[in-house]
A and B are shown apart, each in its own frame.
Chain A
Amino acid sequence: MAEGGSQMSPEQVEEMQEKIKNMSHEELREFQKQQCIFCHIISGKVQSRKIYEDENVLAILDINPANPGHVLVLPKEHYAIMPQLSNEEISHVFMIVKTISNACLRALGVTGTNIIVQNGVAAGQKAQHFMVHVIPCQDGDGLRFEVPQRQMKEDDLEKVRKQIATHMGKKSEDSGLQAASKKYVKVEKPAAKVQEPPEIVFPREKELPSQPVEVAESETVEDPDEEVEDLEEDSGDDEDDDRGRGGVNLDDISKILGNG
């Protein structure tokens, strides 16, 4: 579909659609993987500019960036949307997002970053491979994201709150996460029912970027096991600096921000 989409006759397209319809879940995923440009980048078939790589995650420069230094952080496994990732994978991906964002701030002379995940075509998702965008920003760069505000009615808020909180409660058993406590919410009894990930429309392959770029070998391949240890150490360090769960030396920050 990616390569010869335009050359296929209507019969062939129909045949292909029929074939896809009859695929099992595993076959479909395998098929998506074969068609996925980002899986080709990950396997090295398509060249990219790699910023970071480890066993599970690859971070590359976007070839059509929103701003210079726009990085895509990709899990190496092919997932179409975020709910398909495990808790550990999500933690790992976003730890790297944090580091990439930090690197942008330090190395590129920018004053901010936008971090965006798009789940579904309606949310702007263009590729079938889950990714996190890290976009460096500074004043006057012309890049503005519009999130209009709406005055919500109290009744509607409460209705929506109840729906989401109840659903979170249902999911809390297997995840170890809790829904909002009764300080804020009447906690609904968690039900055992496990929900399938939501159905989302996936974007078509042809929208994907395809120009190959110069290869760059990544120097920073890390052992994920090592990283877990590091992470634990980190939490330890944080606690020394700033009692409790904080990782930030708040004294420093407030000193800096408070001047003037």
Chain B
Amino acid sequence: MVKNQCVICDIIAGKVPAHAVYEDDDLLGILDINGAAPGHVFIIPKQHIPILEQVPNHIVGKMFNVANRISSAIFDTLKVQGTNIFITNGVSAGQKVAHMMVQIIPRAQGDRITLEWPPKQLDEEEMSTIELKLKEEVSKIGFGSSESSAPTARVAAPAAVVNPEAEIEGEDNYLLKQLERIP
């Protein structure tokens, strides 16, 4: 995905008008013109970054602090009953544009927003397998290592078709083999 094809980057560049509620050197917070409720805001990094895993840690921290402040501001000014902070990371998670964003969604009882899920019951063995896999992976990734911000290329950014045969060196290779094609 190239930066100059990204509608979000056009907003950041000022080519597309937007209703900004917050801006600093790294981030922009704007009202969604097709939001789920009045006050639906999304926060975007100014740099073109498709998914969360690629956002540098210091911007991750800042981003969620800003999300928290916008969420509080929505509570205080719009008198809503709740807020969701919501990220869709990858097409299969519902991501629509290839620019990472944090959504802040004002909530009220009986709105038609569904951010809940039917609970599943997994058997003990399945849970144990997942636990082991995740624990191992987390300790491998570590925190703040350069690897943690390395491309996790299997997550397909929207509107891009990925070639699974792409030759990439190193340990990300196995991820690339599973790259997902985009509808």
Contacts and interface: CB of A to CB of B under 8 A. Distances in A.
Interface stretch (A7-15, A24-32, A231-239): A231-239
A148 interface: yes
A234 B136 CA distance: 21
A230 B142 contact: yes
A203 to B, nearest CB: 11
A234 B73 contact: no
Interface in B65-96: 65-66, 68-78, 80-95
Contact of B131 (A82, A112, A149, A216): A216
A100 B137 CA distance: 9
Contacts of B146: 234, 237-238, 241
Label chain A's interface by main secondary structure. Answer: mixed
**Chain A, interface residues (CB within 8 Å), range:** 35 or more
Nearest to B176: A256
A243 B48 CA distance: 13
A257 B84 contact: no
Interface string A143-176: 1111111111000111011011111100100010
A137 to B, nearest CB: 4
A29 B42 CA distance: 32
Interface in A212-245: 213-214, 216, 218-220, 222, 227, 229-235, 237-238, 241, 244-245
B77 A135 contact: no
Among A90, A149, A183, A213: residue with most chain B CB under 10 A = A90
A123 B143 contact: no
Interface string B127-149: 11011011111110111111011
Interface string A132-148: 00010111010111111
B141 A167 contact: no
Contacts of A179: 21-23
A111 interface: yes
Given A99-B138, A99-B143, A165-B20, A94 B60 contact: yes
A116 B84 contact: yes
A98 B60 contact: yes
A238 B149 contact: yes
Interface in B13-58: 14, 18-26, 28-29, 31-39, 41, 47-50, 52-58
A51 interface: yes
17 contacts: A66-B120, A82-B85, A90-B64, A95-B144, A98-B53, A115-B85, A145-B94, A147-B115, A156-B38, A160-B31, A164-B31, A168-B22, A195-B76, A197-B72, A214-B124, A249-B151, A257-B157
Interface of A: 49-52, 59, 61, 63-69, 71, 82-83, 85, 87, 90-96, 98-125, 135, 137-139, 141, 143-152, 156-158, 160-161, 163-168, 171, 175, 177-181, 183-185, 195, 197-198, 200-201, 213-214, 216, 218-220, 222, 227, 229-235, 237-238, 241, 244-250, 252-260
